[in-house]
Amino acid sequence: QVQLVESGGGLVQAGGSLSLSCAASGSIFAITDMVWYRQAPGKQRELVAAITSGGSTNYADSVKGRFTISRDNAKNMVYLHMNSLKPEDTAVYYCRAECFTILAPVPRPYWGQGTQVTVSS
């Protein structure tokens, strides 16, 4: 079993900053990609930022230059540092990790439960 737990969400004013964390735990042998998604009310879930095990990153155009994804492979954690937040960044933020487990020979996706980020104007 693998568990992902996000933390760090909250309420912030426009222009402010917030940092999210996601911790993966359980029978993990290795983690490949770690990804942050978000879902606003009435909208589809969208990819925000992704990072490979080697540190290569990818961002949605809407957050480039404002958000930074990073990870700590030793701790099985991924972070999302968000600057210059806008009201349109308001959403539930989810992390996903592609994990090799002791029982599975191929990586499988695991999701966290989400953390709310609200940006007031």
Query: How many angstroms separate the CA atoms of 53 and 28, rounded?
Result: 14
Dihedral (CA of 100, 103, 109, 112) sign: negative
101-118 confidence digits (pLDDT tens): 988 779 999 999 999 999
Which pair of structure tokens corresponds to residue 112? 């966290």
63-114 confidence digits (pLDDT tens): 999 999 999 999 999 999 999 999 999 999 999 999 999 887 799 999 999 9
User: Coil, strand or helix: which one is 16?
Assistant: coil
Burial of 66 (0-12, 13-18, 19+ CB in 10 A): middle
10-55 confidence digits (pLDDT tens): 999 999 999 999 999 999 999 999 999 999 999 999 999 999 999 9
Query: How many angstroms separate the CA atoms of 108 and 78, rounded?
Result: 17
- Buried b / exposed e across 89-118, counting CB within 10 Å, b at 16+? bbbbbbbbbbbbbeeeeebeebebebbebe
